[in-house]
Amino acid sequence: MSLAYPFPEVPAPATTTEVAPGIRWLSMPLPFKLDHINLWLAQDEGGLTVIDTGIGNPETRSLWAKIIASPVKRVVVTHYHPDHAGNAAWLCQRFGVELWMTQGEYLTAHAVRTSGAGYTTDAVLAVFRKNGLDEERAGRMRGSRNRYAELVPEFPLSYRRIIEGDEIAIDGHRWRAIIGHGHAPEHLSLYCESLNTLIAGDMLLSTISTNVSVWSIDPEGDPLRLFLDSIAQYRELPEDVLVLPSHGKPFRGAHERVRQLEEHHRARLEELIQSLQQPRSAAELLPVLFRRPLDAHQTFFAMGEAIAHLHYLYYAGRAQRTLGDDGIMRYATR
C-alpha cells in the first residue's frame, strides 16, 4: 500500500480538523526550520484529552486559549522534547489535571531542564570533539543558556506513569501504549484498534526521518538499532491504519513508510561503508550523510546522527574503530 494523505491542508492557527471520530488535529508554530508541530485533542466524556502541548511561549499559549472550549481532563505527552512538553505544566495547572507519560521521558525532562545527569552542552560537545568536531565549530555551539528550560519553563512535579501495553480509556475507546526507543528514551505512541488510528509522535513521520543521535549520557549507545527495532513494531498494525505524526500530514500506509525509513538508513549506512576505506571520524563524514551546508544548530544534530550511524556499523561488526593519540575516534572497514 502506497502512502495516502486524506487531509491535505494543515489546520490554520487556532483551528482544528477532525481526523477520526472524536479526534481533532491542530498545529502550533515552532521557532525552528521545522516550523510547526501537530498536536491532538481527543473528545473524552464531556472534556478533552490533550496529546502533546507545543513549546511553552506566549504565542502558543494564546493559541491554546482560543482553541480549548471544553474542560481538559488530562494531558498526555509522547516524549520530553520541548515542542511536545513545553506547555504540559501550564495546561495541567490551568485545568487541575494530571500529566500522563512514560517514566523515562518524565525524568529526562526534569534532568534536561536542570542540566542534570550530564545533560549539558559542554558534555555533548566533549563527545563531539572526541568524534572529530573542531574547536571552531564547537565554539559556535557553546553558550550559557539552557534553551530547553526556556522552551519548557516549568514541568509538573508528579505524573501518571504509562508503560508498554497499558490501555488508556478515552471516550469509550481503548488506546494501547507502544513504547519506542532511539529518538527519545521511552517514546510513547498510542494505537486505537476501534478507530484504526495511531498517534505516532516522532517515531513514524510521513516525509522526514526523525533525528536518531548519540548523546552525552549514553556515549556508547546504539540508538539507530533501537529505532529500527522500534519502528518494525508498526508492521503488526493494520496496513491502512491512520497515522497521526507530530510533523507532516496524517497518512495511511504505515508498512510502506516503515520500509522507506529502513531503506533510507540502509542507504546511509552503505554510503558510510564506501567512505571508510581509510580511518575517518564522524565529523569528517558529515558531508557524506548531509549534502548541504550546515549551520551550528544543524551541525549539533548532524554530529549526533553521524555517530549513531557509525556506532551501528561498529556494533554490527561492519566497521572497526580506533582512538587516536589525538583523542579522536576514527572508524574504518579494514
Query: Which three cell numbers, joined as nine digits, stand for 321?
Result: 574503530
pLDDT score at 191? 98
- Name residues whose C-beta falls within 8 Å of residue 137's C-beta, 6 or more positions apart in sequence: 283, 296, 299
Helix runs in 234-334, H state only: 254-274, 286-289, 296-315
Quote the DSSP letter at residue 2. Answer: -
Mean pLDDT value of segment 102-107? 98
The cell for 327 is: 583523542
Average pLDDT, the chain: 96
Q: Which of 79, 84, 268, 259 lies closest to 180 in space, CA to CA?
A: 79
Under 8 Å between Cβ of 307 and 286: no
Q: Per-residue pLDDT averaged across 247-252, rounded?
A: 97
> Which of 2-11, 28-37, 64-73, 185-194 shows the lowest per-residue confidence on average (mean pLDDT)?
28-37
Q: What is the mean pLDDT of residues 282-296?
A: 92
Instruction: Tell me the torsion sign for CA atoms 103, 108, 109, 114.
Output: positive
The dihedral over CA atoms of 43, 48, 54, 57, expressed in degrees to the nearest 10, equals: 140
Q: Determine the Cα–Cα distance for residues 38 and 27; give it in Å rounded to an integer.
A: 5
**How many helices and strands (H and E) does the chain possess?**
11, 15
The CA distance from 232 to 180, in Å, is 10
Summarize the chain as % helix, strand, coil (round to 5). Answer: 35, 20, 45
Residue pair 301/213 in contact by the 8 Å Cβ criterion: yes
pLDDT surpasses 80 at 213: yes
User: Rounded to whole angstroms, how far apart are CA atoms 54 and 27?
Assistant: 9
Check pLDDT > 80 for residue 143. no
Instruction: Name, in order, each residue with C-beta under 8 angstroms of 282's C-beta and a sequence gap of 6 or more.
Output: 128, 131, 132, 133, 303, 306, 307, 310, 329, 331
**What DSSP assignment string belongs to 118-156?**
T-SHHHHHHHHHHTT--HHHHHHH--S--HHHHHS----
Give me the pLDDT at residue 144, please. Answer: 66
pLDDT at 334: 72
In the predicted model, is pLDDT for residue 70 greater than 90? no
Share of the chain above pLDDT 90, in %: 90
Q: Give the per-residue pLDDT at 68.
A: 92
- For residues 281-290, give the mean pLDDT: 96
Q: What is the pLDDT of residue 140?
A: 86
- Site of grid cell 513494531: 233
pTM metric for this prediction:
0.95
